[in-house]
Amino acid sequence: MPIIDLQKRLGINLDNWLLLQSGEQPYKMPARCHAFEKEWVECSHGIGQTRAKKECLVEFEDFYECMHRQKTHARLHAIRQQRDKMVKEGTYTPPPCHSGKADQVP
């Protein structure tokens, strides 16, 4: 992707180790969104940025969601709001596993 890959030509690794989450990690610990980032990078490698924004939108959205979990949080928030509304109306009581001390048996 870069025009002159100076670091690869000189065989040094000045900052490549901190650019990608999917790169070489110390102790081989993977990032939380390793798979999503890898897929996005593989999808958008070689084609230009304009094309990548169009063609790799799905992968990018998945990666973004994995990182920030905005949609997940909004969904959980909606569920919680609805539950509180129903509890206030009295139409719903939380089951014992969801309130207080439940038996923590796997």
Partner 1 sequence: MAGSKVKQDMPPPGGYASFDYKRNLPKRGLSGYSMFGIGIGIMIFGYWRLFKWNRERRRLLIEDMEARIALMPLLQAEQDRRILRMLRENLEEEAIIMKDVPGWKVGESMFHTDRWISPMSEELLNLRPRKELLQKRFGFLWYV
The footprint of partner 1 on this chain (CB under 8 A) covers a number of residues equal to 28
Q: Are 10 and 16 in contact (CB under 8 A)?
A: no
Q: Are 31 and 37 in contact (CB under 8 A)?
A: yes
- Among positions 7, 16, 25, 72, the unique one binding partner 1 when judged by CB under 8 A: 72
Q: Are 59 and 43 in contact (CB under 8 A)?
A: yes
* Type of residue found at 71: K
106 binds partner 1 (CB under 8 A): yes
75 binds partner 1 (CB under 8 A): yes
Residues of the shown chain interacting with partner 1 in the complex, contacts defined by CB under 8 A? 32, 35, 58, 61-62, 65-66, 69, 71-73, 75-76, 78-80, 82-83, 86, 92, 94-95, 97-100, 104, 106
